[in-house]
Amino acid sequence: MRQLPAFAALTLLLAACAGSDPDIPRPRLTALSPAGELLSAPTPDPEAYRAALTDWFRRADRNGDGAVDRIELLADTDRAFAAFDLNRDGRITAAELTEYRLRSPFRAPPEPTGRDRPGTEGTPGGDPSAAGVVPRERAARSRARPRLDAVMSADTDADFQVTAAELRTQAEARFAAADADGDGRLTLEEVQALATRTLEAAARAVDPRRR
């Protein structure tokens, strides 16, 4: 699977095939903050994706100086950590993340079942590998499926929990990846430039014909 450019700081992405024509798959993108907080529902609309990132940037830029600095990044990360840590024990688990995401207005819509997914009538759970999904579409979905969770990937000691320090470290790494000029400040122009690269990479991920 091709790796999407890490807005692995400001937009770690989830992509899936959304094209009605299996010969022209379209990626759906979910904008995420450096901390992995959901910023948008999955969308095939590049402008909606960009708008979600812009909204995050304006919220994170607390002093309104046109850039997000390290202090503002860490404040945003700590706020997100508090939202994820539902039982307030100072650690995030996969179960807490699942519950958080189910409550989010930006959660992904449920997958169609076998009864309402075209071509999968009678297939338990609508498993596309078991019935009428065409190979090209199936391959596109496989290429685009993310391998690491945007939050749990911060778990560096493999204890299946994420601490505030671990989440901060990961958010700072993503911030640095997006900070093109390395000045320690993230501008809206840098965010949007990375969004462009991410959109291009997502398109290539679901359609290898796009180089």
Phi, psi (deg, nearest 5) at residue 24 = -130, 70
> How many Å apart are CA 92 and CA 97, to the nearest integer?
7
User: 32: which strand partners?
Assistant: 38
Task: Give residue-wise pLDDT tens across range 105-162.
Answer: 987 665 544 333 333 333 223 332 333 333 444 444 444 454 579 999 999 999 999 9
Percent of the chain with pLDDT over 70: 66
Output the pTM of the full model: 0.73
3-state secondary structure 115-149: CCCCCCCCCHHHCCCCCCCCHHHHHHHHHHCCCCC
The DSSP letter of residue 198 is H
pLDDT of residue 204: 77
